[in-house]
Amino acid sequence: SKIIMPPNLKDGRMYYVVADEIEFPANSTTEVIGQRAIFASKIKLPKSLKYICSDALSDRRIAKITIPATVVGIGSRALYGNQLTYITIPSSVEFIDSIAFANNKLTSVTFEANSKLKHIGYEAFGSNQLTNAGLGKLPSSLTFLDQDAFRYNSNLTQITLTSPTDIDGWTNGSTVDGKTVVYER
């Protein structure tokens, strides 16, 4: 079954929807997808979205999702335990909380140019299948990176940072969680 959400939902924490596929219309004004608000394996997020709250879309068997360019924050376990193989983080995102994308099948994470990303939390991308080429360079806007942010990615051996100054705990040439730290400025 497919459900098209009403366009004027102001607070995504106020509903509980179960369907195979959920779509928000182009004129949607929804800014928040709340905790355990939506249960679907296919979802088209609204272009008005600002926050994907903790546990909003976890354990849904989602294989593909596009995060809108309006999203500012991605909460803890927001997309945990799905079947994502790649994700693009829009430049608008300022924080990715703990375990947000953990336990997927990610082989590729792309950060859009001119990123505003400042914070990546504990195991945010943990337990995936990332490689050095698949992760690429982290944005220069980053000011906090948890030392376990990429834990349990056995083929990831290097973290490439572009921050203008060293991030606390991530010294150039050091090893963090078994991964070599490299700065490219």
Q: What is the pLDDT of residues 118-171, one digit of tens each?
A: 999 999 999 999 999 999 899 999 999 999 999 999 999 999 999 999 999 999
- The DSSP symbol for 167 reads B
Q: Please give the Cα distance from 21 to 106 (Å, whole number).
A: 22
The whole-number pLDDT of residue 8 equals 77
The whole-number pLDDT of residue 13 equals 52
Residues 36, 18 contacting (CB under 8 angstroms): no
pTM of the model: 0.94
Within the chain, which residues score under 50 in pLDDT? Answer: none
Measured in whole angstroms, the distance separating CA 55 from the mean position of its chain's CA atoms is 12
The whole-number pLDDT of residue 10 equals 66
Q: Please give the Cα distance from 44 to 21 (Å, whole number).
A: 8
Sole residue written with tokens 């790649």: 86
